[in-house]
Each structure stands twice: as structure tokens, then as C-alpha cells.
């Protein structure tokens, strides 16, 4: 049994991009739930309009996402340290994701129920946010690649 576990672990580690995507997606599920809860409260309870409710929900979820991704998905790149500059970069890169999500939400809300449109918008933002996180915010720096190659 231990041998099987070791082989699975080694296989998982040999595909860092896939493991990062899976980890990012898992954290994304948690943050999608946070996003949906905050959106629902803002939209249904506080009667905020669609766009402000979505932006508020995104801001809370993106903050949670930064912390979890720094500690788990991109732990090597971040050193498991929270940094203001990295957070601001994460939020800035996330603006592309929130723009895509908000556009999707507003357009689809004309053709389907708001909460179905919200779920689709979350899926759209995943693709944009992972790409920005992987290639921009937490990108491997040349000295990180050299250290990884030497280990």
C-alpha cells in the first residue's frame, strides 16, 4: 500500500501544472461558495444592484483566494508568505477575471435566471484567474527554476 501511495505521490509531483490546476480549482470551489454566499446576501437581503453585489462578493472571495493560494497552490513561489505587493498584484490580475465574470453575469441574466448566470460567470472567471495567477502573479522566476533544477 505504501508503495502505491509513493508512486501516486511521485506521479502527482511530476506534473506540477496539473497539480496546481487541481489545487487552484479546489480552492476555487471554496471561493465560489464564498462568492455565491456574499452575492446572495448582498443581492437578496441588502437589495444591492447586480454589479455592486457581484463586485462586493468578488472582493471578499479574491482576498480569501489570495491567502489560500499563497499557502497551498503557489506555496513554493510565495514562500508561504503574504505580501502586500503580491496581494495587490493578485487583485489587479483578478480584475480581468471579475470583468469577464461580471460581463458574463449581466449578459446571461437576460437569458436565464440570475443565479444560473452567476454560476456560469464563476466558471468563466476560473479560466481567466488561473491563467493570470500562473503566468503573472505567481510565475516562476529564473532563479527559482535554477534552484528547482539543482534539487
146: in domain:
no
16: in domain:
yes
Q: Model confidence over 80-118: pLDDT tens digits?
A: 999 999 899 888 888 888 899 999 999 999 999 999 998
8 A C-beta contact, residue 129 and residue 97: yes
pLDDT higher than threshold 60 for residue 149: no
Residue 98 has what DSSP assignment? Answer: H
| Distance, CA of 60 to CA of 19 (rounded, Å) | 25
145: in domain:
no
Q: Model confidence over 14-28: pLDDT tens digits?
A: 667 778 888 888 998
148: in domain:
no
Asked whether the CA dihedral 25, 129, 67, 21 is positive or negative, the reply is positive
8 A C-beta contact, residue 104 and residue 120: yes
Cell of 149: 533544477
149: in domain:
no
pLDDT of residue 4: 63
Considering the chain, what percentage of its residues have pLDDT values greater than 70?
A: 83
> By residue range, what is the domain housing residue 39?
2-140
80 — alpha (psi -120 to 50), left (phi > 0) or beta?
left
Q: How many domains does the chain have?
A: 1
Considering the chain, what percentage of its residues have pLDDT values greater than 90?
A: 48
Phi, psi of 44 (to 5 degrees): -90, -45
126: confidence class by pLDDT, cuts 50, 70, 90: confident
83: in domain:
yes
Amino acid at each position: 500500500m505504501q508503495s502505491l501511495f509513493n508512486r501516486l505521490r511521485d506521479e502527482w509531483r511530476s506534473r506540477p501544472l496539473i497539480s496546481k490546476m487541481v489545487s487552484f480549482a479546489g480552492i476555487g470551489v471554496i471561493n465560489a461558495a464564498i462568492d455565491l454566499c456574499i452575492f446572495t446576501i448582498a443581492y437578496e437581503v441588502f437589495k444591492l444592484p447586480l454589479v455592486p453585489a457581484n463586485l462586493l462578493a468578488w472582493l471578499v472571495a479574491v482576498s480569501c483566494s489570495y491567502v489560500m493560494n499563497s499557502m497551498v497552490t503557489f506555496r513554493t513561489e510565495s514562500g508561504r508568505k503574504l505580501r502586500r505587493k503580491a496581494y495587490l498584484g493578485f487583485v489587479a490580475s483578478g480584475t480581468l477575471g471579475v470583468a469577464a465574470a461580471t460581463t458574463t453575469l449581466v449578459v446571461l441574466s437576460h437569458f436565464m435566471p440570475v443565479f444560473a448566470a452567476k454560476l456560469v460567470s464563476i466558471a468563466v472567471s476560473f479560466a481567466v484567474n488561473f491563467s493570470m495567477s500562473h503566468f503573472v502573479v505567481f510565475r516562476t522566476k529564473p532563479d527559482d527554476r535554477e534552484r528547482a533544477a539543482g534539487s
